[in-house]
């Protein structure tokens, strides 16, 4: 039997998200989430095929379990039970591999890798660079491996797509010896999304990724921009950590580094307190108390000044990055908006490009504002006018599919049982 399925596992600090895919057509066979791991009332929500949360009309029964999942191991065992109840457990011969999202691959991992003991040790060595994420990612892999030691496990890193950045974009201008000793440099994140969206944008233009330059704007609760030349990332807005760059839901993005010293010396805050301030109480939420762009727009429309200023700061930063990456790339074929805000907020897209007509950038209001509903909401679309010098695109991201495709491509190279034609 051909093994043509991949299970994608995304282990967060207190949650595990998963999706089982059939790689011959990319279809979703099951998905779900375990939340509040480590609490007494953890919750597992499982969606078998046809029970998609966003579309209750699609049929199928979702299943819910509320009980204590003490750690990621217990959570993943419960996920395996739910999948087995659908006849698709981890010992299913149709399952080719599990693909794990791993946040930080440092400079070591320039592509997806088959997990072995040395890979696990390296992910562990990178924990100081991603103290909240890599430990959870690691536990997810170790647990999945224990559940079926024969099954290939593949690690797919958020940083990989950005490892092609030239040194002059990846380096901070600080003392080289100190930077090298402590691995201080710009790594970038959301890499699977930037990879997926830049490739899909090229497809949308009917061209090969090697022929186009794209600015990708991943605007979700976390947000990052990237400059992609001929399919390779040449710059991105997140740095050593996912704090740098754009204004985000709760993160500040760029600030003068001296803000930190000022808050430590003058305000008497500890480094941990400043860390918490910049990561959890800044960005849109810090500026106006809301981090949901829908709510912010509603308040702006009602004349709320704090929301209007938060929106303007968000847009100003975005515009600066669009301009910067335009200059980095020289010629730009497309600007692609993705993730929760990028895919859904027409006002953000039009405001970000307002006044940039001289660069060939603008939206067609009718196309930009046309509501994307039903299955077509997941299809990429052009929102710039016909004949525009630079295409403006809305390209829904799909990090799970990208992880599954990278995983499947890797195991197909090494496992003759997997069908190499599928999932490419
Ligand atoms: P993500 O991190 O990609 O899931 O994006 C989450 C964010 O997307 C939310 O915090 C909202 O700010 C934003 N969002 C989701 N739906 C909409 C919408 N219809 N209009 C504007 N923003 C939205």
Segment 362-414, tens digit of pLDDT: 999 999 999 877 767 789 999 999 999 999 999 999 999 999 999 999 999 87
**Is residue 158 among the annotated active site residues?**
yes
81 alpha carbon to ligand 1 midpoint, in Å? 32
**Annotation-wise, does 219 bind a ligand?**
yes
Closest CA to 66 of 82, 47, 42: 42
Selected catalytic residue, list 25, 86, 91, 158: 158
| Ligand 1: centre distance to CA 153 (Å) | 31
What lines the ligand 1 site, CB under 6 Å?
Answer: 220-221, 249, 291-294, 339-341, 344-345
User: Which pLDDT does position 422 carry in this prediction?
Assistant: 45
Report how far residue 269's alpha carbon sits from residue 272's, in angstroms, rounded to the nearest whole number: 8
d(CA 134, CA 122) in angstroms, rounded, equals 11
151 Cβ neighbours under 8 A, 6+ residues apart: 90, 95, 97, 98, 144, 145
Query: What band does 60 get if pLDDT is binned at 50, 70 and 90?
Result: low
Residue 284's pLDDT band (cuts 50, 70, 90): very high
Ligand 1 atom 19 nearest Cα:
344
**Closest Cα to residue 139, out of 15, 6, 5?**
15
Closest residue (by CA) to atom 9 of ligand 1?
Answer: 292
pLDDT of residue 415: 62
Q: Domains of the chain (ranges plus CATH)?
A: 5-157 (3.30.420.40), 207-398 (3.30.420.40)
**pLDDT at 417 (0 to 100):** 53
Q: In angstroms, what is the span from residue 371 Cα to ligand 1's centroid?
A: 15
Atom of ligand 1 nearest to the CA of 348: 21
Cα–Cα distance, 159 to 166 (Å, whole number): 14
Confidence of residue 421 (pLDDT cuts 50, 70, 90): very low
The residue nearest atom 1 of ligand 1, judged by CA position, is 220
């Amino acid at each position: 039997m051909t093994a043509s399925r991949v299970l994608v596992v995304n282990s967060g600090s207190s949650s595990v998200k998963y999706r089982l895919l059939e790689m011959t057509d990319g279809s979703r066979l099951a998905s779900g989430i375990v939340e509040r791991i480590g609490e007494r009332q953890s919750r597992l929500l499982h969606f078998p095929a046809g029970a998609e949360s966003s579309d209750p009309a699609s049929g199928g029964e979702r299943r819910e379990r509320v009980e204590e999942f003490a750690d990621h191991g217990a959570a993943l065992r419960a996920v395996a039970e739910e999948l087995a109840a659908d006849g698709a457990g981890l010992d299913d011969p149709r399952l080719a591999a599990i693909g794990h999202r791993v946040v930080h691959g440092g400079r070591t991992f320039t592509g997806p890798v088959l997990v072995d003991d040395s890979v696990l040790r390296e992910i562990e060595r990178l924990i100081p660079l991603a103290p909240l994420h890599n430990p959870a990612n690691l536990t997810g892999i170790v647990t999945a491996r224990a559940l079926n030691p024969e099954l290939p496990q593949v690690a797919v890193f958020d940083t990989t797509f950005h490892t092609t950045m030239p040194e002059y974009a990846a380096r901070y201008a600080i003392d080289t010896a100190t930077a090298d000793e402590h691995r201080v440099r710009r790594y970038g994140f959301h890499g699977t999304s930037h990879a997926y969206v830049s490739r899909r944008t090229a497809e949308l233009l009917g061209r090969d990724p090697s022929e186009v330059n794209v600015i990708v704007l991943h605007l979700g609760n976390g947000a990052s921009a990237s400059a992609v030349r001929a399919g390779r990332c040449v710059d991105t807005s997140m740095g050593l950590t996912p704090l740098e760059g754009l204004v985000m839901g709760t993160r500040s993005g760029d600030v003068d580094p001296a803000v930190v010293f000022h808050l430590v010396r003058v305000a008497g805050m500890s480094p941990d307190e400043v860390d918490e301030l910049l990561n959890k109480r800044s960005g849109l939420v810090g500026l106006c108390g809301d981090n949901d762009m829908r709510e912010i727009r509603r308040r702006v429309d009602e004349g709320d000044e704090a929301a209007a200023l938060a929106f303007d700061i968000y847009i100003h930063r975005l515009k600066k990055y669009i301009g910067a990456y335009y200059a980095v790339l020289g010629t730009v074929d497309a600007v692609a908006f993705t993730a929760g805000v990028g895919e859904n907020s027409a006002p953000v897209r039009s405001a970000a490009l307002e006044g940039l007509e001289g660069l060939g950038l603008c939206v067609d209001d009718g196309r930009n504002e046309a509501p994307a509903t039903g299955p077509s909401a997941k299809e990429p679309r052009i929102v710039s006018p016909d004949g525009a010098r630079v295409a403006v695109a809305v390209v829904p991201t799909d990090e799970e599919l990208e992880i599954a495709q990278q995983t499947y491509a890797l195991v197909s190279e090494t496992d003759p049982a997997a069908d190499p034609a599928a999932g490419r």
